[in-house]
Amino acid sequence: MAKIKKMIKSIKVDADKCNGCRSCEIICSSYHATPKYNSVNPARSRIQVIRDQMRNIWVPVFAGEYTPSECMGRESYIIDGKEYSECTFCRASCPARDRFKEPDSGLPLRCDMCEDQGPGEKPLCVQWCYNDVLIYEEREEEVEEDEAKLGNMETSLESLVDKFGLQKLVDTVVRMSQKD
């Protein structure tokens, strides 16, 4: 099978520097609003800052894959004397909690690294974080052609759902499939 080069984007999180200002949540939710930049609702953000002011805990977490079932157990981690539940670091949109769900539709949210940002352009949450917590990196990797196409298709579908809503998208696909 043919291999092609694909740009892989990633963001490292230096959580020690985070002060919980939530600028990252604000810009992400505003960018993904319909119309774009028309409203701000951090519940729509693809990055969410886990906050526990009393214990001085601020952990920015990016929305990852959707999972239809929750885990069987709950581990905990002690890092620098602070105890964290396993769920703190989990990126999944899962049935056990409200995190990473679109507040109106309940659809899972996933970070798209700001889908139409060009190469070298930093994702918006990285640009808006003035404490250098979020460190953006790009690298090229060889992947199967089909795998790259599937990834692009998922991102395009997600942005169409963002733009028009799931129901409108489903109606359009049904209408198209009925044409000869």
Binding site for ligand SF4 (CB under 6 A): 18-24, 28, 31, 46-47, 49, 58, 60, 62, 111-114, 123-125, 128-129, 131, 133-134
Least distance in Å: CB of 17 to ligand SF4?
7
DSSP 137-168: EEEEEEEEHHHHHHHHHHHHHHHHHHHH-HHH
Least distance in Å: CB of 162 to ligand SF4?
10
Nearest-angstrom CA–CA distance, 166 and 157: 10
Q: Token match 């581990």: residue?
A: 75
Query: Which of residues 108 and 128 has its CB atom nearest to ligand SF4 in the complex?
Result: 128
Query: Which of residues 12 and 175 has its CB atom nearest to ligand SF4 in the complex?
Result: 12
Least distance in Å: CB of 129 to ligand SF4?
3
Query: Which of residues 73 and 119 has its CB atom nearest to ligand SF4 in the complex?
Result: 119
Is residue 73 within 8 Å of 85, Cβ to Cβ? no
Least distance in Å: CB of 109 to ligand SF4?
9
Query: Which of residues 23 and 41 has its CB atom nearest to ligand SF4 in the complex?
Result: 23
Query: Which of residues 152 and 172 has its CB atom nearest to ligand SF4 in the complex?
Result: 152
Least distance in Å: CB of 128 to ligand SF4?
6
CA dihedral for 128, 130, 135, 140, sign (positive or negative): positive
Residue type, 32: H
Q: Which residues contact 145 (CB under 8 A, 6 or more apart)?
A: 1, 2, 3, 4
Termini Cα distance of the chain: 32
